[in-house]
Amino acid sequence: MVGASLALALAGTRLKVLLIEAVAAGSELQPSFDQRSTALGNGARQILATLGVWDEIAPAAAPIREIHVSDAGHFGFARLNAAEHGLEAFGYTVNNRQLGAILWRALERCPQVQLHSPVRVTALSLGPEWAELRIDDGRLLQARLVVAADGAHSLVKHAAGIDSSERDYGQVALVANIRTDRSARGIAYERFTASGPLALLPLADGSYTVVWTLLPARAAAMRECDDAEFCRLLQHSFGWRAGRILAVGKRASYPLALVRAQELCGQRVVLVGNAAQALHPVAAQGFNLGLRDAATLAELIAGASDPGAAQLLAQFAQRRSADRSGMIGFTDQLVKLFDSQGGAAIAARNLGLLLFDLNAPAKRALSRLSWGFGGALPRLSRGLALQS
């Protein structure tokens, strides 16, 4: 979705853009436009509005007007209300398949964006003036700049010789949609359990999407058990705040790790989205961070005579540095904070939750999380068109 958003951002410039997608957008096997849901912060909503697609997304987007945070089995809790901060919502939950389809339809209306799908890159060679890509239909393509938006284990990143660090959290995210006897009413829940965070995010039809962090063996068992048993065990872990759990849809699981590229750019190559950094979903900020990558890169290269110039790519890396390192650190520390089960750590974090619940400035700061951790906001985040 980050790559599609970048291509859409560049559609109004004089650049010739080619988007290579390995799996057809409408396919059930599409790993980006799948049944997971994404929490779009207000910063991401503004970018998508500037790109002209928010009006189509909005009917399928569920506003998050309240957030309830709790530590299972302990006294700590915090509640945030968007109206108290003058906001319509903290963000919006959108199904990935719906969001992907809207982005793809928008791209199909852009004549200077060529869509090659389904095809795969099989080889990449980089030179001082051009990058050459070979794709699996036999064609050889040349580009001034190759943007890697192909995931945490990016082929392009590897071919460019850019190293990544990876830390396995030893957890799996189990994802499913559920229906309860009570409409979601715009409330998102984040409940920290002994196995990891358990989030319920509202969907537009009043149901919820569940992101349940579990140990791998437990996740496998929960993925394969029957629906009634899944609902019973989820009810036991989460409680009754969202009502009685009545039904669960298709379940999928994803291993969790922090993957961070050591560099954001190489010769004629730049990384965005999960190719640059793949985060734990605890703060639901991965796509929001990647979308700011795309917005910043689009702004820098929109009017460039050579979009792959080393100086330009270095400027991109510098502009993304504070936001990127801040969000990676925040997410990782949040995982560590709630992963610790020692008595002193539990008492400290629960006291911290209660103090946070009473601290209006801290709540205001958290409400602005999706605008980034530092650096100038890209033009698309401010509702301004690219200058080309």
User: What is the full DSSP assignment across 162-197?
Assistant: --EEEEEEEEEEEEEEEEESS--TTEEEEEEETTEE
Residues of the chain falling short of pLDDT 50: none
Q: Judge if pTM exceeds 0.75.
A: yes
Is the N-terminal amide bond of 197 cis, ω within 30° of 0?
no
Cβ neighbors of 168 (< 8 A, separation 6 or more) are 255, 256, 257
| CA pair distance 335, 356, nearest whole angstrom | 17
Distances from the Cα of 261 to the Cα of 172, 285, 365, angstroms = 21, 17, 27
On whether residue 180 sits in a domain, the answer given is no
Q: Write down the pLDDT at residue 103.
A: 95
On whether residue 205 sits in a domain, the answer given is no
For 237-306, give the secondary structure using H, E and C: HHCCCCCCEEEECCCEEEEEEEEEECCCEECCEEECHHHCEECCHHHCCHHHHHHHHHHHHHHHHCCCCC
Q: What CATH code is carried by the domain that includes residue 310?
A: 3.50.50.60
Q: Write down the pLDDT at residue 147.
A: 98
> Angle, nearest 10°, between helix axes 310-339 and 286-301?
170
On whether residue 136 sits in a domain, the answer given is yes
To the nearest 10°, report the CA torsion of 6, 8, 10, 14: 150
Q: Write down the pLDDT at residue 184.
A: 94
Kind plus residue range of the DSSP H or E element containing 363: helix 360-367
Q: Can you give the residue range of the structural domain that contains 322?
A: 2-61+96-166+262-339+372-382
Domain count, the chain: 1
Q: Write down the pLDDT at residue 372.
A: 86
On whether residue 297 sits in a domain, the answer given is yes
| CA pair distance 199, 208, nearest whole angstrom | 9
Burial class (CB in 10 A: 0-12, 13-18, 19+), 174: buried
Q: Write down the pLDDT at residue 104.
A: 93
Length of the chain: 388
User: Nearest Cα to 245, choosing from 212, 282, 280?
Assistant: 212
Q: Write down the pLDDT at residue 105.
A: 94
On whether residue 89 sits in a domain, the answer given is no
On whether residue 41 sits in a domain, the answer given is yes
On whether residue 154 sits in a domain, the answer given is yes
Neighbours of 261 (CB within 10 A): 23
The arrangement of strands across the sheet holding 62-64 comes to: 37-41, 91-95, 62-64
User: Nearest Cα to 154, choosing from 22, 36, 245?
Assistant: 22
On whether residue 15 sits in a domain, the answer given is yes
Whether residue 53 contacts residue 43, with contact meaning beta carbons closer than 8 Å, is answered with no
Q: Write down the pLDDT at residue 34.
A: 64
